[in-house]
Each structure stands twice: as C-alpha cells, then as structure tokens.
Amino acid sequence: MSLTRRQRALQSGKDASTSLIEFPNGLPPAPPTKHREKLTEVEQQLKKAEAAQKRRVQVAKAAKESEAEAIRKILGQDSNRKKREDKLKKRRDELAKEKAANAWTLPPNTIRWVIRPTRTFITFSEDVGLPSIFSSKPCRLSSSRGCQKPSSIHMRGMSSTLKHFNTHLQRPSLLSSETRLKMERMSKPLDWKLVGCSIANEARLNSDIAKLSLSGSNIKVSADEKSSSMSLPEEQKRMSLVGRKKNFECVERVKGRRVNVLQGLELHTRVFNDEEQKKIVEYVYDLQRMGQSRELRERTYLEPQKWMRGKGRVTIQFGCCYNYAVDKKGRPPGIIRDEEVDPIPPLFKSMIKRMVKWRILPTTCIPNSCIVNIYNEGDCIPPHIDHHDFVRPFCTVSFLTESNILFGTNLRPVGEGEFSGAAKIPLPVGSVLILKGNGADVAKHCVPAVHKKRISITFRKMDDSKLPFKFSPDPGLQGIQPLGSSQMNKLPAQQVPSQQNSQNQNQMSNLQNQNRLSNSQNQNRLSNAAPDTARKMSRSPTQFGNDDFPPLCATR
Ligand SMILES: O=C(O)CCC(=O)C(=O)O
Ligand SMILES: [Fe+2]
C-alpha cells in the first residue's frame, strides 16, 4: 500500500518519542497540490488568451499602420517621398527644357522651318553664316497686310537674333504635325531660296531679283547672295537680251469702226531664263501641294472638279480674293473685299521687281495681286476681258510650254476647250505679255486647251477703290525704280563706268522715243490703212522680225 508523505511522517513520529516538532492544534493543512495544478492550467489558458489577444492587437495595429501608410501615400503626405518625387519632377522638367533648347541646335548646313499658330520659325545651323543683317537687334517690320491673325517668320540665327516677316502661307489651324514635317522636308531647298528672297526683299527694297535667289543654287544665304548676285553690267546685259514687241496689229470692225484690237499689247521675251523658270515652276508646285493639303488660306487655292475637257484649270490667288462668277452667296464677279487670301509670296514679289526694274511694268502700276493658272493637258481659260477691279496694264508670265493666246472681239467655241478668234499670239516660256489698251479692253482673250501642261502667273494691280478691307500695301513692293534711272545713279562709280552709264541712258531714252513714235505711227497707219492692208496685217500679228525685239538698254 502506498503511503502519503504525511502518513509516513506520522508513522516515523510514533516510532521516535523525541520528535523535534510538535503540532498541538493538529497538523496544518497539507498544501492543495491538485488545486494548485488546476489554477496553473487556468493561468496558462489565461496566458494563452492574453498572448492571442496581444497578437490580435499587434496584427490590428500593423494593419492600421499599413492602412495609415497607404493613406499617407495616397495623400502624398510622406514628406520624404514627396521630396524625392519633387526632385524627380524637377529633373524631368530640366531635361525637357534642355531638350527644347537643343531642338534649335541644328546639324551643319541645315535649316529648320517650323510653323506655329502665330508665327513661323526658321532656324539656321551655325555654319550657315547668316548675313550681317541678322546680327542686328531684332526688329519688327510693319505689317504688310492688315490681316486678322498675322503670322510672322522668325529668323533664328546663331545668336537667336530674329527678323520678323509677315507670312500667311499657311492656315495654321489646319496644319497637322505630319503636314508640317512633310512641308519641312519638301520645301527645304526651295524655301531656303525663298528665305533668301524674303531677306533681301525686306531688307533691301531695290535689290535685284538675281541677287535674291533665282539664279543661285547654294544653300547658304551669304554664299547664295554672293554667287547669285548679278553685277549691274550683268543685269544690264540680261535686260538687253529681253525681246520687246509692241506693235501687234489686228483690225476688227467695232461699232462700225475699224479698230486695232491688239493695240496696247506688248510681248517681252527672255525675261526669266531657264534656271529661273525652273525655280518658279518648282515653287508653284510646292504651292499647289500646300493648297491640296489645305495649308493655304481657304480661297487661295482653287481646284475645280474636272467635269469636261477644258474645265479644270487650277488657280492659286494671292493679294485678293477674286470671284470668277456669281458665288454661293450671290456675290458678283470681282474682288471680294471682305475675303482674305494669302499675300503675294516673296518669289513672286521678286518677279514683280524685275519687271518694274527692267521697264516691263510701269512704276505707276506695280501689281499687288496675282493669280497662278496651272493648266493640265486639255485645260483652257475661256474668252474673257479681265475685270475692271484691276487697273491696266496687267501682265501674264508663261512657263513650261509655249501656248497660243487668242484675241478678238468675237471668240467662238469650236470644240471642248477650243476657240477660234481674230488673232493668235504664241507665248514663249519665260515671256511676259502686257495687256492694256484695246488688247485688254476691246478684244477678249482666251488660252485654248493646252497640248501640254502649262503654268501662267497673271500679275494685276487692284483699283484703289476695290482693295480688300484688310489690305495694306506691301513695303517690299514700294519705291521700286527702273534700272537706268535713280538705281543707276545711286550706284558707286566703280561699279558703273560713267561713260557706259550715260550711253545706256541715252540709248534707252532714244529707244523709248522710237517705241513711242512707232506705236503712234502704227496707230496712224492703221487708221489710214486700206481695208486690205489692215486685213493682211491682222492675219499675221505674230510674225516677228528682228526689229520687233529691240534691246531697250543695250550694253554692247
Ligand atoms: O494663262 C494665260 O496666259 C492667260 C491668263 C489670263 O488670261 C488671266 O489670268 O486672266
Ligand atoms: Fe485674262
């Protein structure tokens, strides 16, 4: 039998009367061993519960913290993080700025043409070497057009010095970035030359067209100006080669009277040489492409639907909006004063200058508008008299293919785009036909369906009372002087030997007198001529003899 420790102790006490410890009130209660074990379990459970609770609290706390962290993140309240982000953003901005600044730095021998809604930027690479006018302080030329949203060309050189020129060659709002890039690529070489034109046109009113661009092919302005500029003797030589026919005759009976219906016409040949013609034609094509991609103002470019042979001539008009026929709004033919088109481009202004300087157009009638006609094979311009919203004389310059222009009081259709008339004048390429007098106002004219592609540019001055409301004169077309007058006198002596100069002037005034005389003689002759003679003359108005092309200002 197993004994408890107490029983064992009692037993041992019985055995020894000399016990050291006595318990008079009985033994103290034995320690409750089982109870103690039970409590420990509870305690343990409690402890476990406490620990579990602690863990729950910790988990909840961690969740709360991460939630708070997330909220802080969202609200951007983590100052360190924010600082880092700010720094990054700043760097990004700096890089963007750097990139923008570098965007203007071009590879060598390059020009960038960027069209912005309000202005056009032209940037030259360092090595292009802009002429000294670009190292002057930026200056703004007064607006040459009173257009609503004038855009300007900003010429950027190495030190970002700018020149501002007006341009309306595009409808910025319609330009896609793709078109801009295309245009940049497409027009670089030609625009470059145009830029050259602008520079010289705007900077030096009376400088020569050849100096500007037409005969130069170099890409650099400075080189271009140097290599292509014609010296005065060279220019005089070119001018002396111009053929001038002024005695066209074709008699028709008008209101019972015999009239030379070609009186007043003049044909000036070899005004623009092959190279110049090529550049002008290329430029016209560029304008056409711009028109097709709607980069020109709305009424500038017109490409009618080709609904029959002869009808479909493309026109590009500058300076004013001319209405060919009663339009949708019921407006009659003539200049629409409240419509705007693009202004005359620099290259065409250079042509005008040459024609005035070379005494083809009078200084009193400097054109301020022009229309480009692009005839594809089979296209024609039907019989008409140019509207009197345009003053006389006006002129038309021919390119690509020689075609006939018909004149007569009665031009009859004889087929699709074909006409018959009293007189026909072949228009050689590079020639200028001046229309005034009976040739402009008594006879009608037309160009029958062309056999090969042809381009003509008609330059006209608007009647002052018909100017578009927002028109303002182009400073580049003011004060042009004919060669041999003030222009020559202004030149330094070493450039023009004084003897040669005065000789030229004498020859010129003699010739002018001769021309004036021969014109009046012709008129007298005509009015007195027998009907037969007049008819004979009218049959061959275009048989030119050597005398028909007297050099006006010979330097030989
Ligand atoms: O194309 C031509 O030469 C003539 C053009 C014409 O008559 C005009 O534009 O009024
Ligand atoms: Fe005409």
Write out pLDDT tens, residues 43-77: 888 888 888 888 888 888 888 887 777 666 655 55
* Cα-to-centroid distance, 446 and ligand 1 (Å): 7
Q: Dihedral angle at the C-alpha atoms of 460, 293, 105, 108, nearest 10 degrees?
A: -80
> What angle (nearest 5°) sits at the alpha carbon of residue 511, between those of residues 509 and 517?
105
Nearest CA to ligand 1 atom 6: 458
E-strand spans in 443-485?
A: 444-447, 454-460
Q: Tell which atom from ligand 1 comes closest to the C-alpha of 427.
A: 3
Instruction: Specify which of 40-49, 179-188, 432-441 reaches the highest per-range mean pLDDT.
Output: 432-441
Backbone φ and ψ for 485, nearest 5 degrees, come out as: -115, -120
Closest C-alpha among 273, 271, 262 to residue 542 = 262
Q: Tell which atom from ligand 1 comes closest to the C-alpha of 454.
A: 1
What is the Cα–Cα distance from 363 to 359, expressed in whole angstroms? 8
| Cα Rg of the chain, angstroms | 46
* Cα-to-centroid distance, 347 and ligand 1 (Å): 19
Q: Tell which atom from ligand 1 comes closest to the C-alpha of 435.
A: 7
What is the Cα–Cα distance from 279 to 314, expressed in whole angstroms? 19
Which ligand lies nearest the alpha carbon of 457? Answer: 1
Mutate to test the pocket of ligand 1, among 265, 374, 458 (most ligand atoms within 8 A of CB): 458
What Cα–Cα distance (Å) separates residue 415 from each residue in 380, 425, 453? 12, 20, 19
Between 217 and 4, the more confident residue is 4
> What's the distance, CA 339 to chain centroid?
19
Retrieve residue 210's tokens.
């050849």
Of the chain, the percentage scoring pLDDT greater than 90 comes to 41
Which whole number is the average pLDDT over 438-467? Answer: 98
* Cα-to-centroid distance, 248 and ligand 1 (Å): 18
Q: Tell which atom from ligand 1 comes closest to the C-alpha of 373.
A: 1
What is the Cα–Cα distance from 102 to 500, expressed in whole angstroms? 54
What Cα–Cα distance (Å) separates residue 288 from each residue in 67, 264, 335? 65, 32, 22
Closest C-alpha among 263, 234, 457, 464 to residue 358 = 234
Nearest CA to ligand 1 atom 2: 456
* Cα-to-centroid distance, 316 and ligand 2 (Å): 14
What is the Cα–Cα distance from 164 to 386, expressed in whole angstroms? 35
* Cα-to-centroid distance, 313 and ligand 2 (Å): 13
Residues for the chain: how many in total?
556
Phi-psi region of 22 (alpha: psi -120 to 50; beta: other; left: phi over 0): beta
What is the Cα–Cα distance from 270 to 241, expressed in whole angstroms? 7
Closest C-alpha among 352, 391, 369, 394 to residue 479 = 352
What Cα–Cα distance (Å) separates residue 58 from each residue in 43, 61, 268, 369? 22, 5, 103, 87
H or E segment and range at residue 509: helix 498-528
pLDDT at 64: 82
Q: Tell which atom from ligand 1 comes closest to the C-alpha of 458.
A: 9
Retrieve residue 424's tokens.
């026909």
CA count, 13 A, side-chain hemisphere, 445: 24
Sign of the four-CA dihedral 475, 489, 352, 211: negative
3 state SS for 361-401: CCHHHCCCEEEEEEECCCCCEEEECCCCCECCCEEEEEECC
Backbone φ and ψ for 4, nearest 5 degrees, come out as: -80, 170
* Cα-to-centroid distance, 432 and ligand 1 (Å): 11
Write out pLDDT tens, residues 265-281: 999 999 999 999 999 99
**Residue list, ligand 1 pocket, CB within 6 Å:** 371, 373, 381, 386, 396, 398, 405, 427, 445, 447, 456, 458
Phi-psi region of 162 (alpha: psi -120 to 50; beta: other; left: phi over 0): beta
pLDDT at 341: 95
pLDDT at 8: 57
* Cα-to-centroid distance, 368 and ligand 2 (Å): 16
Please tell me the pTM assigned to this model: 0.55
Least confident of 24-33, 58-67, 244-253, 296-305: 24-33
What is the Cα–Cα distance from 123 to 249, expressed in whole angstroms? 53
Retrieve residue 520's tokens.
């009046």
Helix axes 274-292, 346-357, angle to 10 degrees: 150
What Cα–Cα distance (Å) separates residue 303 from each residue in 290, 374, 508? 12, 9, 43
> What's the distance, CA 503 to chain centroid?
44
What is the Cα–Cα distance from 319 to 467, expressed in whole angstroms? 9
Nearest CA to ligand 1 atom 9: 458
pLDDT at 289: 97
Identify whether 393 is preceded by a cis peptide bond (ω within 30 of 0).
Answer: yes
What is the Cα–Cα distance from 170 to 116, expressed in whole angstroms? 10
Retrieve residue 82's tokens.
């924010």
Least confident of 4-13, 68-77, 183-192: 183-192
- Map out the domains of the chain with their CATH numbers: 246-474 (2.60.120.590)
Instruction: Specify which of 174-178, 234-238, 249-253, 306-310 reaches the highest per-range mean pLDDT.
Output: 249-253
Which whole number is the average pLDDT over 189-193? Answer: 31
Retrieve residue 99's tokens.
């990139």
Write out pLDDT tens, residues 508-553: 333 233 333 333 333 333 332 233 323 333 333 333 332 222 222 2
Mean pLDDT of the chain: 68
Asked if 296 contacts 271 with a C-beta cutoff of 8 angstroms, the reply is no
pLDDT at 227: 32
Write out pLDDT tens, residues 63-117: 888 777 766 665 555 567 677 778 887 877 776 666 554 544 455 555 555 454 3
- Report which residue type is found at 370: C
Asked if 322 contacts 334 with a C-beta cutoff of 8 angstroms, the reply is yes
What does DSSP say about strands 322-323 and 314-318: parallel, antiparallel, or unpaired? unpaired
Retrieve residue 426's tokens.
């072949």
Backbone φ and ψ for 433, nearest 5 degrees, come out as: -100, 125
Q: Tell which atom from ligand 1 comes closest to the C-alpha of 445.
A: 7
Retrieve residue 106's tokens.
């071009």
Which ligand lies nearest the alpha carbon of 315? Answer: 1
**3-class DSSP state for residue 306?**
coil
What is the Cα–Cα distance from 407 to 421, expressed in whole angstroms? 6
Closest C-alpha among 210, 250, 213, 212 to residue 230 = 210
**Looking at the predicted structure, is the pLDDT value of residue 411 above 60?**
yes
What are the residues whose beta carbons fall under 8 Å from the beta carbon of 360, sequence distance 6 or more? Answer: 242, 266, 268, 271, 354, 395, 432, 434
* Cα-to-centroid distance, 447 and ligand 1 (Å): 7
ipTM over 0.90: yes
Find the farthest-apart pair of alpha carbons in the chain and give their distance in angstroms, rounded: 191
Q: Tell which atom from ligand 1 comes closest to the C-alpha of 396.
A: 3
